Amino acid sequence: MIVMKFGGTSVESREAIERLTLIVGRQRHRQPIVVVSAMGKTTNKLLKTAQEAAAGRRDQALTLVDELRAYHLIEGLAVAGAAAADLDRYIRAHFDWLDELVKGLSIVGELSPRSMDAIASIGERLSSLIVSFALRSAGIPSVHIDARKIVVTDDRFTQAQCDFAETYLRCQQSVAPATEAGVVVMGGYIGATLEDQTTTLGRGGSDFSAAIVGAGVGAEEIQIWTDVDGMLTADPRILAGGHRIKTISFAEAAELAYFGAKVLHPATVLPAIEHDIPVLILNSRRPDVEGTRITSQPPPCLNAVKSISCKRGITIANIHSTRMLMAHGFLRRVFEIFDRFEIPVDMISTSEVSVSLSIDPTDRIEEIAAELRQFAQVSVEENLSIICLVGENIRHTPGIAGRVFECIRDCNIRMISQGASLLNLGFVVADADLNRAVTALHKEFFSVLDPAVFD
């Protein structure tokens, strides 16, 4: 068995779904389980619909529902024959339900996380139905399974945590046997509590869903189908002409994902690592490209660096207190505040009386700074970017830091951090310096490529 996850751009239109059916059809012999995201930007529009309704803007919310209904009826119907009428009825029923929920929210004027998840889940519920019908229409036997019956979570709505033991059991009891009857199709991103309350795994959770299901059924590999050729040596939004990475380790991929590589959700690799399942990043628009293979034991690489990852819109909080000299508990007090606000820290650089932290998101930075100022001096720097060089060889190659900072000597470095794993070397620059710095670093470390690892 294999798991094939298709992102929003890979199911965004009739043409995209037709490409999907061809890709899946070629691998039918491998008993594929297809996990799909919502079509295109559906989830964003659903969340906006919920917010409009809760704000009392009923007509605007219902207009958004009408637009989504028309989009799914037109673009989603890559289906022929009598099945088209059944699918049409299913789609209309979902949006009729959404109409009623929107009307109710506009009266109540309040949007709970539970209601938010109920609305956000519609995208994957519909896309998985549409894809299942499309496969059957193309002559490929298909079994649709509601992911909410398989992926069991807690009740932390909008950021639900998976109950792996129960989910894996359901994968073994329901999903794996169903592959004997046809291609199994499920929605990503969504799950449910033991009490059958719909939940979501957080944005980007469809990748995580695919990894969870892959681990649950013991898949031989997990394929992530998107709109890029794989992981590249640089972010294509920053630097055009990056090289495709043929193979990369789980640890390297996780570092890249965390520090800005949008092609892969960071949590995706966790179930795959635990079960040693290879993950492939592939392009649904160019299915013949080999993509990137993420595995526990990639071949040795002659290059010191595998890729350069970037993260824009970063804020640094510089915290200093001479009162904490020789006193324990300084860092504990700092991190207790970030924990209370549920703000993750990207990078940290510290001494005995000061600490610098890079954070994202930053919408509550003033509240955080106010609490920190109760025991320390605090300054905040905004409009910054993290640049992170990632590679297994960084730990074994002398002089990496010297090469890095020599080729970007004209950029003002705001913060430096060496990862504890020794897989990465990260630093922070102004947003305005990001493109120039990445271009110089890419030229320095990728002018000569190991053909076994890069294309």
Give the CA angle between residues 442, 447, 450 to the nearest 5°: 105
Cross-strand bridge partners of residue 115: none
Structure tokens of 29? 């012999």
Q: Which helix (H) or strand (E) element contains residue 369?
A: helix 365-372
Structural tokens at position 406 = 């020599």
Q: Break the chain into its structural domains and give their ranges.
A: 2-227, 307-445
- Among the listed residues 366, 358, 357, 355, the one whose alpha carbon sits nearest the alpha carbon of residue 321: 355
Residue 354 is predicted with a pLDDT of 82
pLDDT digits (tens, 9 = 90+) for 208-267: 999 999 999 999 999 999 988 999 999 888 998 899 999 999 889 888 887 777 777 766
For 101-105, what is the mean pLDDT? 94
Both tokens assigned to 104: 């109710």
Residues of the chain with pLDDT > 70: what percent? Answer: 95
224 half-sphere exposure, CB direction, 13 A CA radius: 30
Residue 46, both tokens: 């659903």
Cβ contacts of 156 within 8 Å, gap of 6 or more: 199
The pLDDT assigned to 332 comes to 85
Tell me which DSSP letter residue 175 carries.
Answer: I
Angstrom distance (rounded) from CA 41 to CA 371: 38
Pairing of strands 279-283, 292-295: antiparallel
Contacts of residue 294, defined as CB under 8 A and 6 or more positions apart, other chains included, come to 231, 247, 248, 249, 250, 253, 264, 269, 272, 278, 279, 280, 281
Radius of gyration over alpha carbons of the chain, in Å?
24
Closest CA to 300 of 397, 377, 230: 397
Name the residue among 14, 33, 30 with its Cα closest to residue 225.
Answer: 33
Q: For residues 291 and 280, what is the distance between their CA atoms, to the nearest angstrom? A: 7
Could you tell me whether strands 377-390 and 424-430 are parallel, antiparallel, or unpaired per DSSP bridges?
antiparallel
**Contact assessment for residue 13 and residue 127, using Cβ atoms and an 8 Å cutoff:** no
CATH number corresponding to 307-445: 3.30.2130.10
User: In whole angstroms, what is the distance from residue 308 CA to residue 261 CA?
Assistant: 9
Query: Residue 239: which of 390, 449, 447, 440 has the closest Cα?
Result: 440
Burial class (CB in 10 A: 0-12, 13-18, 19+), 326: exposed
**Taking the model in full, what pTM does it have?**
0.88
Nearest to 183 by CA among 134, 144, 213: 144
Q: Which residues contact 253 (CB under 8 A, 6 or more apart)?
A: 231, 261, 264, 269, 279, 294
Q: What is the pLDDT of residues 298-317, one digit of tens each?
A: 999 999 999 999 989 899 99
**What residue spans of 38-121 are helical by DSSP H?**
42-54, 58-75, 83-108, 113-120
DSSP state of 382: E
User: 258-278, pLDDT tens digit by residue?
Assistant: 777 777 776 677 898 899 999
List, for residues 124-169, the tens digit of each pLDDT value.
Answer: 999 999 999 999 999 999 999 999 999 999 999 999 999 999 999 9
Taking the C-alpha atoms of residue 366 and residue 354, their distance in angstroms, rounded to an integer, is: 19
Q: What pLDDT score does 322 carry?
A: 73
Tokens of 353: 């009386």
Give the architecture-level CATH label for domain 2-227. Answer: 3-Layer(aba) Sandwich (3.40)
3-state secondary structure of 278: coil
Spatial distance between the Cα atoms of 275 and 164, rounded to a whole number of angstroms: 13
